[in-house]
Amino acid sequence: MEKTPVKIYVNTKIEDGSDQEIIEFYTNGEFYIKEQASYLIYFEEHDYGKVKTIVKIQDEEIYIMRSGAVSMKQRFIEDIDTFTHYETQFGQLNLTTNTDKIIRTANTQRVDGFVVVHYSLQVGENQKHLHTLTIQYKEDMQ
């Protein structure tokens, strides 16, 4: 399994009524293909510490696994509710994700593509927030 160094851009837009929050960052990571799925691996810095993120990209599902200072496995499947636990050193939250739409592209000539996931997220019994997650990746030619 050959891993390719990539530059990654992550943008999350969170909408709560008229309020909007945008979280974005650039990082370096790795891309590889295993058993008909594409994978991205990168590290994020959170308030709680370093988090390893693995994004598994398939035709029908995007699966994001986080470990380290934050632990979570989040599945995105169009028109299906998925459930997960968001764990930190301070405790655990129950999350319900409902994915409205997944858009993905990949350039087969080189390692280059993006994933956009439109979903609503409900934390426990609280109201839902609308999220748009965009992950772009491109081979690091340096």
Give the end-to-end CA distance of the chain in Å, rounded to a whole number.
21
For residue range 78-87, list pLDDT tens digits in order.
999 999 999 9
Mean pLDDT of 90-99: 92
Domain count, the chain: 1
Nearest CA-CA partner of 115 in 133, 130, 131, 100? 133
Query: Structural domain of residue 114, as residue ranges?
Result: 4-139
- Please give the DSSP secondary-structure letter assigned to residue 141: -
Looking up residue 72, the CATH number of its domain turns out to be 2.40.128.20
> What's the predicted TM-score (pTM) here?
0.92
- Assigned token pair, 58: 């398939």
User: CB-based contacts of 35: which residues, under 8 Å, 6+ apart?
Assistant: none
